[in-house]
Amino acid sequence: MRSLTRHTLFWPLLALALLLVVNVIATPSFFSIRIQDGHLYGSLIDILRNGAPTLLIALGMTLVIATRGIDLSVGAIVAIAGAVTCTYLAGSPDEGSVSRAIVAMSLAVGVCVLLGLWNGFLIAVLGIQPIIATLVLMTAGRGLAMLITDGQIITVNNALFKKVGAGFVLGLPVAILIAMAVFAVTAVLTRRTALGMLIESVGINPEASRLAGVRARTITWTVYVFVAFCAGIAGVMIASNTSAADANNAGLFIELDAILAVVIGGTSLAGGRFSLTGTLIGAMFIQTLATTIPTIGIPSETNYLFKAVVVILVCLLQSPKARAALSVRRQSPLLTKGSAA
Amino acid sequence: MTQMSAAPAQATRTAEPVVEMSGVSVSFPGVKALQSVGLTLRPGEVHALMGENGAGKSTLIKALTGVYSIDEGTIIVGGEPRTFSGPAESQAAGISTVYQEINLCTNLTVAENMLLGREPRSFGRIDTREMNRRAGSVLARLGVDIEPRSLLGSHPIAIQQLVAIARAVDIDAELLILDEPTSSLDADEVVKLFEVMRTLRDEGVAIVFVSHFLDQVFEISDRMTVLRNGRLVGEYVTADTTQLQLVQAMIGRELETLEKIERQAEQNTVRATGTPLMEVLDLGRKGSVEAVDLQVFEGEVIGVAGLLGSGRTELARLLFGADAADHGDIQLRARRTKLRTPRQAIDQKIAFSSENRRSEGVIGDLSIADNMVLALQASRGWLRPLPAKTKERLVTQYIDALDIRPTDPHALMRNLSGGNQQKVLLARWLITEPELLILDEPTRGIDIGAKAQIQQLVADLAQQGVSVVFISAELEEVLRLSDRLVVMRDRRKIDERSNDDVSVADVLEIIAGEVRDDA
């Protein structure tokens, strides 16, 4: 039992399971999945689909956080990705064509990769602290997205584009398939190659890694490009879901959800060891929470309040002092502070 | 009560022990660090805690100060059974510790560091003036001539160490624990430290002294407790014990290895002819090392001697590309080469083990195995992971060969003792099969047993044709191993000679001779 509770994924899984139980009690049909027109529908499918953009970004964020970094600009990048896709499509003569959609989406993701290069340059080459460096794009990025869309919400009509966020393939939502594919690729890239170990070593001790010949700068740069790439896909997905680019609201606060998902999954903000599976569970937890709140009759505007509670719980669980208090074997005497002086 | 005058202190000499630990056991995941160990500390005595690396000295100290919680046993402090749940509590009970690795904030001033957490206040605000005055008076008592308002980070490690001790002294401790306080101090700084220790002892303070320098232990300590492999070997009165007895108690076997190394090094007469493996001309970097010329031949051990801050570490960093040189030439195997990053040097089969194990070597949260293969993996690139079987073979081979404990390759690096960490780091470089191995203080802060093993390793490597640049503050060690000797002073190479019958006194004269010329 003790070794079970010590497993890194024990607490995230327990929390997710508890939430699911609450849902089943509130809506007994929660787990039911029905097939309609060959497509799967149900609450669980909804959670997975709506959680896909957060999961995508959280995957990239996991690697960034593992290197001791953080990326606050992902929400702005989401907005830019949507803006680029929709503006390009709306401005082209054949708005509905397949080839235009492919060009538009590739262009959007390409722009995001460039933005990731910019973040990585500030952090890995110029040595600016990640929180400051990405704050630049977090604030400027939304402005950039507004500039691209000219301040308008741009709606488009393109079947292929619409499919990315709202369509189905083989009965499953495309968004889920994309997120799972990125998850699988990331897992293979980090755990079947040496990339994961090198990222961790840079996160734990950058100078020792450099002296051991690890190209710490390249690795740092790469993870910021990767998270921007993920945010780009997520941005296309979010815009596709409504077939519209809303520079103001697309991906708003998604960076916080992504960071929260990573932390719930057991990856420490201090860098080092990371868990992609943990992040997957964390992202699902957050989305389930957002779904649960209206289900049990609480107005969904209070969502942030509940997230705050989760943050506090996670912080408590990760703090060494709280852990010690949980597994206390002896009553420790109160600290007599100042008696030494 | 801690500020006792000299007279009552003498009276308490036979009185109640300050600390009595008995039957103490501590274990970490996969490691039994201490098994039923006892330690008795009396007021007005310097008590040396001796043992090899991984013997459990640091663990015992951390168990006493509440950094680690104990699984079994009792700790009696001042006559009462106590269990501290952290250093703050043990400090409040009069136990002050200076750890082997300095735990101070380099971005604060000297005074702020000394009084951190105990700042004098007036009207609820920190009284900076009083703080600087108090820090200054403690420093003056220790004879350390530095400005309390200067940033700690602006001083060399040796001074930072003295500040750490000054901090502990200021707490008015009944028990002062000094874990390897002399490992980065020069000879006259050690003398200064010992003066302070004697003063404190005569005031009735109990002092625990952990050191690997046997001479120092015999000079300063009254009593010794010896640990081996996490177990208690015994307590000895220093005056009744010989160095040989102590060493045998510590390592539990004869000490012929060192003599064997010396014989081997003598036989290894190197042909310093032909094309050198590495030749540097006029190599230097502003503010670090002035123009150095150096030739390194195949299978040769070059010993670099010099005081702390003489530029010996800086030279090593230039040879490895850890810092980029701003002038000079490097030729490797007769070809001109630029070494601007460690990676370029590693690609040229050069390896460098830094003197700062913790900050520049150890990846604490990774396993022994990952730490070992890091350099090789980095040079293979992330796309070509080391096959699991090769990795396992290499790791077990080196754990065996270097006698690394624990033997579990999955144990986390941060749970290892200093000496075992050092061995893992050496293994990291040996796995890359270097042709030039630069070792900066590879034996610092580790015990005789491990020291002998590492020296043996260097001698063996040289015989196999590996060139070694060996830097150490211990001149005996440098002279024992090296074929050629380079002496550094004031960031310059001041002498180079072949190591034929050079004695420690000769080297000291070379260094000191320059001092006289300057004066």
Environment class of A302 (CB within 10 Å of its CB; exposed 0-12, middle 13-18, buried 19+): exposed
Residue (of A145, A140, A143) closest to A119 by Cα position: A140
B342 and A210 in contact by Cβ < 8 A? yes
State the CB neighbour count (10 A cutoff) for residue A255.
26
Q: Which amino acid is at B493?
A: K
Please state the pTM of the whole predicted model: 0.75
Distances A333 to A319, A340, B86, B422 between C-alpha atoms, Å: 20, 16, 11, 38
The shortest CB-CB distance from B118 to any of A192, A332, A341 is to A341
Question: Lowest-confidence range among A78-82, B168-172, B450-454?
Answer: B168-172
CATH topology assigned to domain A38-289+302-316: ABC transporter involved in vitamin B12 uptake, BtuC (1.10.3470)
Mean pLDDT of B368-373: 96
Chain B CB contacts of A332 under 8 Å are: 83, 85
Is the pLDDT reported for residue B172 higher than 80?
A: no
The whole-number pLDDT of residue B251 equals 67
Instruction: List the pLDDT tens digit at each of the 341 positions of chain A.
Output: 556 666 778 888 988 999 899 889 988 888 888 888 888 888 899 999 999 999 999 999 999 999 999 999 999 999 999 999 999 999 988 888 999 999 999 999 999 999 999 999 999 999 999 999 999 999 999 999 999 999 999 999 999 999 999 999 988 999 999 999 999 999 999 999 999 999 999 999 999 999 999 999 999 999 999 999 999 999 999 999 999 999 999 999 999 999 999 999 989 888 899 999 999 999 999 999 998 888 888 888 888 888 888 888 877 877 777 777 776 544 444 433 333 33
What is the interface size between A and B, counted as CB pairs within 8 Å? Answer: 91
Mean pLDDT of chain B: 85
Partners of residue B437 on adjacent β-strands? B351, B468
Chain A CB contacts of B339 under 8 Å are: none
The answer to whether the Cα torsion of A155, A161, A162, A164 is positive or negative is negative
* DSSP for A75-127, written as a single string: HHHHHHHHHHHHHHHHHSSSTT-HHHHHHHHHHHHHHHHHHHHHHHIIIIIS-
Query: Within a 13 Å sphere around the CA of B101, how many CA atoms are in the beta-carbon half?
Result: 10
The answer to whether the Cα torsion of B472, B477, B479, B484 is positive or negative is negative
Instruction: Compute chain A's Rg from CA coordinates.
Output: 21
A204 and B365 in contact by Cβ < 8 A? yes
pLDDT band, very low/low/confident/very high, at B184 (cuts 50, 70, 90): low
Is the pLDDT reported for residue B454 higher than 80?
A: yes
Packing angle between helix B257-267 and helix B448-463, nearest 10 degrees? 20
Chain B CB contacts of A205 under 8 Å are: 359, 362-364
For residue A175, the 8-state DSSP code is H
Which SS3 state, helix, strand or coil, does residue B468 take? strand
Domain ranges of chain A: 38-289+302-316
A198 and B366 in contact by Cβ < 8 A? no
A340 and B362 in contact by Cβ < 8 A? no
The whole-number pLDDT of residue A234 equals 97
Chain A CB contacts of B363 under 8 Å are: 200-201, 204-205, 208-209
The whole-number pLDDT of residue A66 equals 96
Give this complex's ipTM: 0.84
Residue (of B2, B203, B12, B26) closest to B91 by Cα position: B2
**pLDDT tens-digit profile of B204-259?**
889 999 887 778 889 999 999 999 888 899 999 999 988 777 877 876 654 556 56
Q: Are the C-beta atoms of B291 and B325 separated by less than 8 Å?
A: no
The whole-number pLDDT of residue B513 equals 59
The distance of Cα B94 from the centroid of its chain, to the nearest Å, equals: 26
Query: Using CA atoms, how far apart are residues B301 and B471, in angstroms rounded to an integer?
Result: 10
Residue (of A23, A136, A119) closest to A67 by Cα position: A119
Chain A CB contacts of B127 under 8 Å are: none
Kind of pairing between the strands at B301-306 and B484-489? parallel
B342 and A211 in contact by Cβ < 8 A? yes
Task: List the domains of chain B with CATH numbers.
Answer: 6-94+174-251 (3.40.50.300), 107-171 (no CATH), 256-349+436-519 (3.40.50.300), 357-433 (no CATH)
**pLDDT tens-digit profile of B100-118?**
666 788 899 999 998 888 8
pLDDT band, very low/low/confident/very high, at B307 (cuts 50, 70, 90): confident
Residue A193: its H or E element: none
Which SS3 state, helix, strand or coil, does residue A151 take? coil
* Phi and psi based region of residue A322 (left: phi greater than 0; alpha: psi -120 to 50; beta: remaining): alpha
Chain B CB contacts of A204 under 8 Å are: 363-366
Which residue is associated with the tokens 């100078």? A207
- A339/chain B closest Cα distance in angstroms: 6
pLDDT band, very low/low/confident/very high, at B394 (cuts 50, 70, 90): very high
Work out the angle at residue B409's Cα, subtended by the Cα atoms of residues B408 and B414, and round it to the nearest 5 degrees: 90
Query: Using CA atoms, how far apart are residues B135 and B143, in angstroms rounded to an integer?
Result: 12
Q: What percent of chain B has pLDDT over 70?
A: 90
A200 and B346 in contact by Cβ < 8 A? no
Residue of A nearest to B351 (CA): A212
Query: Using CA atoms, how far apart are residues A233 and B114, in angstroms rounded to an integer?
Result: 53
Structure-model confidence comparison of residues B445 and A78, the more confident one:
A78
Residues of A with CB under 8 A from a CB of B: 192-195, 197-198, 200-201, 204-205, 207-215, 272-273, 330, 332-333, 335-337, 339-341
Q: Are the C-beta atoms of A54 and A286 separated by less than 8 Å?
A: yes
* DSSP for A271-329, written as a single string: -S---HHHHHHHHHHHHHHHHHHHHTT--GGGHHHHHHHHHHHHHHHHSHHHHHHHT--
* Phi and psi based region of residue B338 (left: phi greater than 0; alpha: psi -120 to 50; beta: remaining): beta
The whole-number pLDDT of residue A229 equals 98
Q: Are the C-beta atoms of B463 and B261 separated by less than 8 Å?
A: no
Structure tokens at A10: 């024990």
Work out the angle at residue B297's Cα, subtended by the Cα atoms of residues B293 and B298, and round it to the nearest 5 degrees: 155
The whole-number pLDDT of residue B515 equals 42
Is the pLDDT reported for residue B433 higher than 60?
A: yes
Which residue is associated with the tokens 């890359």? B432
Is the pLDDT reported for residue B267 higher than 90?
A: no
